[in-house]
Structure 1
Amino acid sequence: MRLSAPIYQLKRRAKLLSREDNIPLHEAQDRIAREEGFTTWSLLSTRLAMSKLDISLLPRLEEGDMLLLGARPGHGKTKLGLQLLLDAAREGRRTVFFTLEYTEREAMERIRSLDDEVPANTPEVVTSDEISADFIVQHLSGAPRGTVAVIDYLQILDQQRSKPSLSNQMKVLQAFAHSSGVILGFISQIDRSFDPERAPVPGLIDIRLPNPIPAGIFSKACFLHAGEVRIQHIG
């Protein structure tokens, strides 16, 4: 995907156009997007995000890491999580995708869409309605160190009142990751209040959480928005 200028310059042009023509910023952004061949700025941003996600998270992770993958819908967080599993599978690691968002067939279709050469040890897909911290720990019990599991998504752990609080579940998963050497990745929703004019990508304060979780649960985080990617160590 080629633009006439880097995305930050297009954003700057949109702000300038907004001031000069006295129009709302979103209208100016849409006008710039149309000049680039897209109907809306949102579509331009989404396409850019998907085309730029060629980074590999696996070399940045260590055994026992708790990784947060956060973005608004359509900005590539699920793609990046599945790519992480594929990269780990190619290294011969055990990989598991826990999801209540997709059926097993849908998840496998998404995985195969990422690469024509899916490794022989394809990531395992788990879609049980019982997914929770205890379920994940039990399912991964005995897994080799360096196993990679991705949970889609963080907020599903907090959906059923019959399950322990999200705070307690995350403590259980953190303790398990540290003791087992399993890497756990959590795809996370970002609150609608996130304002890309305030910051180019979301941060920890923008995680959409009905109930809080303890500080320091995650060891690393990756936030995405409109093609921008920010990876950070936490704690």
Structure 2
Amino acid sequence: MRLSSPIYRLKRKAKILARDNDIRLYEALNQIATKEGFKDWSHLASNYSEATPAKKVMKQLVSGDMVLIGARPGHGKTLLGLELIALAEESNRAGYVFTLDYNESDVWDRFEKLGFAPKRFNRPVVVDTSDNICADYVIERLSKSSDDALVVIDYLQLLDQRRSNPPVDEQVRALKKHATDSGAIVVMISQIDRAFELSSSGLPSIDDIRMPNPVDLSLFNKRCFVHDGEVRIEMAA
């Protein structure tokens, strides 16, 4: 089936439709998809999937991975993490978002911008915004499910902001052990030091990770850096 316009133009039409008719973006996307002959937007997208950065990253993830996503503010690290969650069920995984930075409404609004809504997911996605988020809290929640998990934690530098929590290095080690033992994939979003903005580098590197407290970054066997729409995936040596 041939689309009447490229996907990016259809998305633009949906944004205008949502604005003009005061409806949610996912509803507008579904209306556009129906006019194109599909049952909903996810049906259209699955037939005309673009090689998005998240899909490229997802293809390289395997059970037990510890993944670091680093970028400066506004360069898409959180959206990349959420798109990985949206793709989790395609790998028969349950998606978990643990965030100390956003409220639940913010997270679902960002899912909607990606063209996903709660009813889009065949299995529930857990969005947890508790102030108690730390490694032990995450592991306890995951232990209550028998499903393989893909976990996004937002973000690394906030895990030990509460004095009652263990040092962040200790927490990353605990999450690494859980991923190895359970087969989960753990993705941690990370800040990049602001000094990067003064460098001539095109993309951040492991040396640009903001480190207010010590962390053994070799615990992350895969690293993903984002800047100005470009994405680079690295394997740890």
TM-score (norm 2): 0.72
Residue aligning to 2:62: 62
1:83 Cα deviation from its structure 2 partner = 0.3
Distance in 1 between the 2:124 and 2:144 partners? 19
Q: Deviations over 1:46-66 (max 9, x none)?
A: xxxxxx954412111010100
Distance in 2 between the 1:116 and 1:77 partners? 17
1:226 Cα deviation from its structure 2 partner = 1.2
1:132-151 equivalence runs, <5 A = 132-144=134-146, 146-151=148-153
Q: Deviations over 1:131-182 (max 9, x none)?
A: 0010011011154464100001111102111111111111111111111111
Question: For residue 164 of structure 1, what is the amino acid of its counterpart?
Answer: P
Residue aligning to 1:164: 166
1:70 Cα deviation from its structure 2 partner = 0.3
Root-mean-square deviation over aligned CA pairs = 1.9
1:196 Cα deviation from its structure 2 partner = 6.5
Residue aligning to 2:191: 189
Residue aligning to 2:109: 109
Question: For residue 128 of structure 1, what is the amino acid of its counterpart?
Answer: S
* Residue 89 (1) aligns with residue 89 (2): yes
Equivalent pair of 1:89/1:122 in contact (CA under 8 Å): no
Identity fraction in percent:
42
Equivalent pair of 1:145/1:181 in contact (CA under 8 Å): no
Distance in 2 between the 1:62 and 1:129 partners? 29
Cα 1:143/1:116, change in 2 over 3 Å: closer
Equivalent pair of 2:53/2:231 in contact (CA under 8 Å): no
Distance in 2 between the 1:144 and 1:200 partners? 41
1:93 Cα deviation from its structure 2 partner = 1.7
SS state of the match for residue 193, structure 1?
helix
Distance in 1 between the 2:91 and 2:140 partners? 24
Which ranges in structure 1 are unaligned for 5 or more consecutive residues? 1-51
Q: Deviations over 1:183-212 (max 9, x none)?
A: 000011100011464321111111112111
Distance in 2 between the 1:203 and 1:54 partners? 17
Count matched residues.
184
1:5-24 equivalence runs, <5 A = none
Residue aligning to 2:77: 77
SS state of the match for residue 60, structure 1?
coil
Moved more, 124-133 or 153-162: 153-162
* Residue 174 (1) aligns with residue 176 (2): yes
Residue aligning to 1:19: none
Distance in 1 between the 2:203 and 2:82 partners? 20
Residue aligning to 2:122: 120
Question: For residue 154 of structure 2, what is the amino acid of its counterpart?
Answer: D
